[in-house]
Amino acid sequence: MAVLLITSAVAIVASFGAAYLGALLQRKWTPNPIPSIEKLEGRVEEVRQRIEAIEQERLECESFTLGIWLRQASLNSWIVEVKNETDKSVCVETIQFFRGDNAPLSGLDKPKNPDDWCIPARSQKQICWNPQHNPVMTLQFAGVELDRFARQYRIVLGCRSDGKPRTAQRDLLLTYGDHTLTQYGP
């Protein structure tokens, strides 16, 4: 019985010793997770800020609106009226004209003087230009039947506001007659 008692005591002491030794070795070999967690918190904060900046940019792009009306579209003289409905100045850098099926009818036309196509906040301006590839002539040579029925076209403006590139576009119903395109409706 004494042997059993001594053996049990040795087993208990050995168990506690092994547990203590295991805890010491684990503490020595396992790195402290607190610095890693602090680094992760910093990285999570960076990612959160980047996501917020991207979301803000997306909202700005969605709320970027310009009113666009085609005032004149003849062989050598095109006039588009642009209304800046934003709180920031907008500079139109390019204009391109498309058919309703997204086929381009003109090249990317740029202003001769970049300041000519700048529109202050909450104002409107007429933009005059001569397309390098005249859309009316392109339609005529393409064999498109240009009758007096309204057809869908699109004007796309490449803009810059607050140093950031923006795009504004408007689908228009236009009729053709006497070598000009005329906007149908508002």
Report angle CA 90, 92, 95 to the nearest 5 degrees. 150
Which residues, 6+ apart, have CB-to-CB distance to 164 below 8 Å?
57, 60
Percent of all residues in the chain with a pLDDT value above 90, rounded to a whole number: 17
Contact predicate 103/49, CB 8 Å: no
The answer to whether residues 52 and 85 belong to one domain is no
The mean pLDDT of 151-173, rounded to a whole number, is: 88
Q: What residue has token string 């053709």?
A: 176
The answer to whether residues 43 and 126 belong to one domain is no
The answer to whether residues 80 and 45 belong to one domain is no
Q: Supply the pTM of this predicted model.
A: 0.67
Across the chain, mean pLDDT equals: 83
Contact predicate 73/108, CB 8 Å: no
DSSP codes, 36-101: HHHHHHHHHHHHHHHHHHHHHHHHHHHH--EEEEEEEE-SS-EEEEEEE-SSS-EEEEEEEEEETT
Choosing from 62, 81, 110, the residue where a domain stops is 62
Q: How many domains does the chain have?
A: 2
The answer to whether residues 169 and 134 belong to one domain is yes
The answer to whether residues 101 and 152 belong to one domain is yes
Domain coverage including residue 27: 2-62
Task: Supply the Cα-derived Rg of the chain in whole angstroms.
Answer: 35
The answer to whether residues 89 and 156 belong to one domain is yes
Choosing from 62, 96, 112, the residue where a domain stops is 62
The candidate with the shortest Cα–Cα distance to 162, out of 121, 125, 116, 126, is 121
DSSP letter at 149 equals: S
The mean pLDDT of 38-45, rounded to a whole number, is: 81
97: tokens are 């004209």
DSSP letter at 178 equals: T
* pLDDT of 56: 84
Contact predicate 95/157, CB 8 Å: yes
Compute the Cα dihedral for 35, 38, 44, 45 and give only its sign: negative
Q: Would you say residue 142 has pLDDT above 70?
A: no
Q: Would you say residue 73 has pLDDT above 70?
A: yes
Choosing from 62, 85, 105, the residue where a domain stops is 62
